[in-house]
Chain A
């Protein structure tokens, strides 16, 4: 029996039953909304399945095809996998030693679900996810744009539990369907007039009118004390009216016209380069027109067998997922590295485009006001640890780039779990210490202007970022 904890918990207990709970929890959402006229702050997360190549040092492929850079925070050296990002060196940060604790012993195939949520979804049985990073920000910034967020993936829809095809989950932990057809995304962003939305809005307005009438006539029959209570209801109705007025504003605002030269709206994943570039271009245009400030893009579900497997055709390789299984075959590490290099190249192209575009209504260039994240929920083969993460931009949000940030202990050279190509790897005991990725998420949210100190049950930010 620990007497100290008895005393502590006694106080916590008594406090917990008293005033601390008196404030309804949902009121906190209202706090700290951004104002309309600020320079937009944007967030985009790109997820790629299957992790990256991590050969052992003893492997001749290590020199060129190990994903993580070598060297220190500032003097890091990119291998062939990421050297395509060298021109953007001062705009990017590369992270190691981060992962979600709840996922460390879960098979990499199940992990796209919780990359942005950190939820303890486990490997089987009942399934429950929680809100994703992008949606926390969308709750904060979503009111200021026509679309609160743009959710895309190569495979589309929601996928299955532990086999997600979307990166975004709402506050109840339900998946938000991802769009995967460029034409549909373009129409949604820049063509659809929102006729249905207008009709729904009109209906809601008439309903609110009736509800206000009805509560007024009830109010007249109540004591003055009870009228005070009913006033809360009327206030709730009025707040809803204000929300509708905001929605009306978007219906009345003309849809922005955009430059469509770089779009190939009929592109499919098998035309990998065109498809990839078109999807990135759609995010770019959505940001440029301030149609949304939040986007996620999932480059394929985990575990192969889908359109995303065709993306590696861009570099002349077949079966993207298969590349992770074939690392011990001739040129195996090189092939996987080449595919990862291609992913980095496209991400770099997108970042470069943001960098070259001055912020339409604000300071700096668009990249300065955007935090773009690129990563996966596994490093080496099915291993849900040491996520390979790159972030780009965000200078005006407070991010200092041009750095390779190593976190955790005992894996400074990224050799834990390196070289494996069987499932024995991910089931192995966690020997090295890594930090919760959620801490980086808290840092990101704070820099985006969300007043929070925790994400997914982890509180505190990440030092040095």
Chain B
């Protein structure tokens, strides 16, 4: 049977199938485990509306207390904490043993601490000594009950989805509302993450005066950036034609030229130089000062020139732009570039750096291109690439307007070739024949961002009527709903107050619009109560549904299409809703969903505080991997079990090198097969997870175990008790132990056992991965021992064993955890016991639909949970 299953899987690859396997023996491969585990699913067996036994509401275990715990307490504690004496005003015989409904939880916590840490009974009272096994017995019962009590406390509270936008949602909303291509620099404080790790959790999104004032400032700043005043500003344009540069260089006195065929070229070719590709004549080149040309028109496409700048790997062209760039607006840099060779294993890309050197040691430089731009076309057929840089957001030379020449006023743009090119006779260089820099750059005048606010209208002459038109349109987008004349009137009244202080209509109106951007209806996700609510909980309105949808999938406000459908009352029609969800997922804005959900679900922003990975490109790649992976699963509606294990990975060159996967070139992520020897596949083996759950020097099984329980299985362990005994590193016996032995030694203390037996084995299964996630078979000349035993006696043989176990026996738990996490994120609130039945039902439907991620998103969006308050 095993063989049969494996054969089928070879044919079917990684897609989920409904094929059943009937054997219950250990599956030979991870793919077989996926199949086997699926068959075991309770969710697939149960029919229709059964209430699921998963995660039942816990109840107090009082019987066990009476039978086994109370006698122990009476024997060892009662003499001092009973009717005779009640030291510390504690009477153990009067504590309510029901920790779930009783009021003595805090006292019980104290009892737990002193018992588990062997503080009590006092050592000098041999009559009342507790045997280790009894101590363990009490600690076990108490830790179980305390854990249930905290679960109840957390989950009994009903949470609302009414909340303000997060910092990142606010940024995106402002950008989308105003059509701005760049984020407005934002000084809002960072958000706090919930226990689930989510930053959009309603209760933690606070508002303070400081925050409120910042919203108003940012709003006005963004509006000023989106609009323009007065005449179109003069554009400053620099054009650097390599043909002309060559002419100039050759016309100098005694030009030091060389020929490509000369032997001496070998000395020259590693430095930037000008080369006539037809004649082979070359000359060393470092650009001098460039001056703007008053006649020049940007955006031209001159004929391709045979003279090019040859830019070798890691070299740069440093252009001195003097002091003529304007203070604000977009600087558009257009570069026509091609590759000298087309070896597919090599890549070349351009990076832009902006700098100034105002006097000795007073200098700065910063990368201003958001990402490296790949150069892909051959040198004979070069391509134009362009980069837009917001001049007011980058560090500028503060002395550029001096009338004197010191400190120096110049600003520099560096064009750098970032490449993996290797040596050899024909080297991969970037060839550039034409560069254009213009600022401020406008696609049109006035820009679209301006005319979207100050719309074309025949009423422009009448400020009162036109003002209403502008406000009506703006408020509808800001408030995501139709606007009444009365509401417009309020803002017109404000406008009337402001108008005398400003010389133009636009200036006064911007102040009014900035006020609209500080209203609660912009900053909060509303859910209005209506008079005639019959069902409970009542549905949110279609307009509110539109906002909930766009915040979920775009981290931003709805667009016109969504608003229109909601206004027409069509959005909730199942086929319309499904079409819209598909449209939204196909929109580039849905990348924000992948980014934000994955970062919060997995907690990968913790990688930012990791200091032992010093290579920034590696760190960035680590952080980007799980997002790229999730995005791949999302784009293809793959099965969510791929998160546990997949036979592919998403890597770029840097990460592939880290994983020992060859044949991956360039900075972009792509899908590669995860051959068994790479020991990768799924999220658990991602370097980000492994690295952030290490201690800076070595792996950290405990952190990895805790991470796994919280993030993947949604079964967070209780927080550790205070004052846990330290591992005694002065004890030579302990020093001799391996890490795993030390953990076992610690775990075997009765005080620690109850928690650690639930955590450690998971983490030990990760031991084959070191502190930065590199696979290893040895630790300090000792073979890695990554085998552990779960508290249920299940053996996990390393990462493969862990994955096999999860896939065989824990698919339901993972599926439910995934549903839970995604739903909590979609709703922007923690889930409670009241949501259990919905989560179970969603999980069941998901499993029946073969666990596709897109299906899950559709299921959540059409669920009652998502549609109600």
Contact code string B719-736 (vs A, CB < 8 Å = 1, else 0): 110001011010000100
Q: Which residue of A lies closest to B367 (CB)?
A: A126
Query: Within the complex, which residue of A157, A162, A236, A303 is in contact with B211, where a contact is CB–CB below 8 Å?
Result: A236
- Complex Cα distance, B543 from A221, in Å, reads 15
Contact code string A154-166 (vs B, CB < 8 Å = 1, else 0): 0001111111000
- B739 near A163 with CB under 8 A, answer no
With a cutoff of 8 Å between Cβ atoms, the chain B residues found around residue A159 in the complex are 358, 362, 398, 407
With a cutoff of 8 Å between Cβ atoms, the chain B residues found around residue A27 in the complex are 206, 208
Q: Which residue of A lies closest to B533 (CB)?
A: A223
Query: Within the complex, which residue of A3, A157, A232 is in contact with B727, where a contact is CB–CB below 8 Å?
Result: A3
- B192 near A5 with CB under 8 A, answer no
Query: Within the complex, which residue of B208, B523, B720, B727 is in contact with A24, where a contact is CB–CB below 8 Å?
Result: B208
| A230 at interface, CB cutoff 8 A | yes
- B398 near A158 with CB under 8 A, answer yes
With a cutoff of 8 Å between Cβ atoms, the chain B residues found around residue A125 in the complex are 364-366
| A31 at interface, CB cutoff 8 A | no
Contact code string B202-244 (vs A, CB < 8 Å = 1, else 0): 1010111111110010000000000000000000000000000
The smallest beta-carbon distance between A374 and chain B, in angstroms, is: 23
| B757 at interface, CB cutoff 8 A | no
- A110 near B361 with CB under 8 A, answer yes
With a cutoff of 8 Å between Cβ atoms, the chain B residues found around residue A2 in the complex are 695, 697, 729
- B363 near A162 with CB under 8 A, answer yes
- Interface centre among B160, B359, B399, B519, by most chain A C-beta atoms within 10 angstroms, is B359
With a cutoff of 8 Å between Cβ atoms, the chain A residues found around residue B726 in the complex are 4, 7-8
| A390 at interface, CB cutoff 8 A | no
- B360 near A243 with CB under 8 A, answer no
**Do A10 and B360 form a contact, CB below 8 Å, given A2-B697, A221-B528?**
no
- Complex Cα distance, B367 from A26, in Å, reads 31
- Complex Cα distance, B726 from A199, in Å, reads 63
Find residues 21-54 in chain A having any chain B CB closer than 8 Å to their own CB. 21-22, 24-27, 29
- A236 near B209 with CB under 8 A, answer yes
- Complex Cα distance, B359 from A302, in Å, reads 10
Query: What's the dominant secondary structure at chain A's contact region?
Result: helix
- A127 near B529 with CB under 8 A, answer no
**Do A15 and B407 form a contact, CB below 8 Å, given A29-B210, A125-B364, A163-B359?**
no
- Complex Cα distance, B521 from A56, in Å, reads 70
Query: Within the complex, which residue of A13, A160, A215 is in contact with B398, where a contact is CB–CB below 8 Å?
Result: A160
- B518 near A207 with CB under 8 A, answer yes
Query: Within the complex, which residue of B216, B528, B697, B719 is in contact with A14, where a contact is CB–CB below 8 Å?
Result: B719
- B208 near A22 with CB under 8 A, answer no
With a cutoff of 8 Å between Cβ atoms, the chain B residues found around residue A232 in the complex are 206-207
| A218 at interface, CB cutoff 8 A | yes
**Do A229 and B162 form a contact, CB below 8 Å, given A10-B703, A218-B520, A305-B407?**
yes
| A1 at interface, CB cutoff 8 A | yes
- B515 near A211 with CB under 8 A, answer yes
| B501 at interface, CB cutoff 8 A | yes
Q: Which residue of A lies closest to B162 (CB)?
A: A226
- B209 near A239 with CB under 8 A, answer yes
Find residues 150-184 in chain B having any chain A CB closer than 8 Å to their own CB. 160, 162-164
With a cutoff of 8 Å between Cβ atoms, the chain B residues found around residue A123 in the complex are 361
With a cutoff of 8 Å between Cβ atoms, the chain A residues found around residue B363 in the complex are 124, 160-162
**Do A162 and B361 form a contact, CB below 8 Å, given A1-B697, A18-B195, A211-B515?**
yes
- A223 near B160 with CB under 8 A, answer yes
- B212 near A240 with CB under 8 A, answer yes
**Do A6 and B365 form a contact, CB below 8 Å, given A163-B359, A172-B187, A226-B160?**
no
| B742 at interface, CB cutoff 8 A | yes
**Do A3 and B206 form a contact, CB below 8 Å, given A15-B719, A218-B521?**
no
- Complex Cα distance, B407 from A163, in Å, reads 9
- A160 near B529 with CB under 8 A, answer no
**Do A229 and B202 form a contact, CB below 8 Å, given A26-B208, A126-B365, A158-B398?**
yes
Listed by A's residue number, 11 A-B pairs whose Cβ atoms lie within 8 Å are A7-B746, A15-B719, A160-B362, A160-B364, A160-B398, A203-B501, A221-B526, A229-B162, A232-B207, A236-B208, A239-B208
**Closest 10 interchain pairs by CB?**
A163-B362, A239-B209, A109-B361, A160-B358, A236-B212, A226-B162, A161-B364, A1-B698, A221-B528, A207-B515
Chain B interface residues toward A at CB < 8 A: 160, 162-164, 187, 189-190, 192-193, 195, 197, 202, 204, 206-213, 216, 356, 358-367, 395, 397-399, 406-407, 490-491, 493-494, 497-498, 501, 511, 515, 518-521, 523-524, 526-529, 695, 697-700, 702-703, 706, 719-720, 724, 726-727, 729, 734, 739, 742, 746, 869
